[in-house]
Amino acid sequence: MKQPKILLVFYLFIGSFSFAQENAKPSEPGEYTYDTDHNLKIYCFKPENYDAEKKYPAIVVFHGGGWSIGEASWGFSNAQHYASKGMVAFSVQYRLQDNKNGITPYESVLDAQTAIRWLRDNANKFSINKNKIAAYGWSAGAHLAACAAVFENLDAPTVTTSSAPNLLALKSPALSLLLYPNFQQRLGDKIQVSNLSPAEHVSSATPPSIIVIGRSDTVTPLEGSELYHNNLKKLGIPSELHVYDGVGHLFTPSTEPDDGWPNPDPSIRTKAENAMDLFLAKHGYFQEQ
């Protein structure tokens, strides 16, 4: 197996455009601070015919970027797409790796968990069903979404509000950090890499999940997604794994390097997006507008 190429991350930017909708009416998001200690923002997109008297399913978007680059705006088109499907959608800013200031991917995971707890605590403010919060992420962002579920309340075991989403939609996800021999160096002594690797720790509490990934992905290898999926199936938890031939990370054709700027195959990208939409609809997350 080729060594995963997680340090070359500029390809991840394009993931934010995967759900551009010609017919959706883009809206300006509402900006909120979900962590005042670190001044972290979360951005809210509401359905076109939003009614504060209703209770909406919600989705939280975590951008990719190798845990070291990116911003919440990269997830805006995804959030707009889900808002067009009748969900209240959020895109999250989280801390990025910064060796100088002692920030590691562990802090990124903690921020993802804080964001979901904040949403549950503010469910009435946004008219969302706190028991129907999905999380979507691509690449490193998918790792954060999965960790929020698998390692519930990692740094806050006595907190009663759960950090775990109720459904996961994961694109080209990094689900087994054990596939990356040097990842412990990125975490330092904050946490053992094995304790931040979702695929090996799924449980009966892990939510229904869908994974879409290219078969020849060299950045977030298929092996990790297969392990996660198979472990969920053994526990009887709904899980779908959609593997697309002829493409690598974020559906870049296998004839091209997939660890640089992406060039997603349009037809496969559309198939993957439709598969995630069907999964969300099947579990009751889409509402008529």
Domain of residue 140, CATH code: 3.40.50.1820
| Residue 5 belongs to some domain of the structure | no
Q: What is the pLDDT of residue 5?
A: 54
d(CA 235, CA 202) in angstroms, rounded, equals 9
The token pair that represents 207 in the structure block:
């939510």
Residue 287 confidence (pLDDT): 73
User: Is residue 3 in some structural domain?
Assistant: no
Q: What are phi and psi of 234, to 5 degrees?
A: -60, -30
Question: What domain range includes position 212?
Answer: 10-282
- 236-285 pLDDT, tens digit each: 999 999 999 999 999 999 999 999 888 999 999 999 999 999 999 999 99
| Residue whose token pair is 């907190």 | 159
What pLDDT is stored for residue 234 in this prediction? 98
> What does the alpha-carbon distance between residue 219 and residue 153 come to, in Å, rounded to a whole number?
28
pLDDT at residue 126, rounded to an integer: 98
Residue 58 lies in a domain: yes
As beta bridge partners, residue 42 has: 32, 92
CA 160 – CA 261 distance, rounded (Å): 42
Please tell me the total count of domains within the chain: 1
Q: Which residues contact 54 (CB under 8 A, 6 or more apart)?
A: 127
Structure token pair of residue 127 = 């008219």
Determine, yes or no, domain membership for 4.
Answer: no
pLDDT for the residue 60: 98
Predicted local confidence at residue 22, as pLDDT: 34
For the chain, strand residue ranges (E) read 30-35, 40-45, 56-62, 88-92, 128-138, 167-171, 209-214, 239-244
Asked, for residue 54, whether it belongs to a domain, the answer is yes
The whole-angstrom separation of Cα 268 and Cα 19 is: 13
- The pLDDT value recorded for residue 27 is 61
Domain annotation covers residue 144: yes
Which stretches in the chain have pLDDT values below 70? 1-27, 288-289
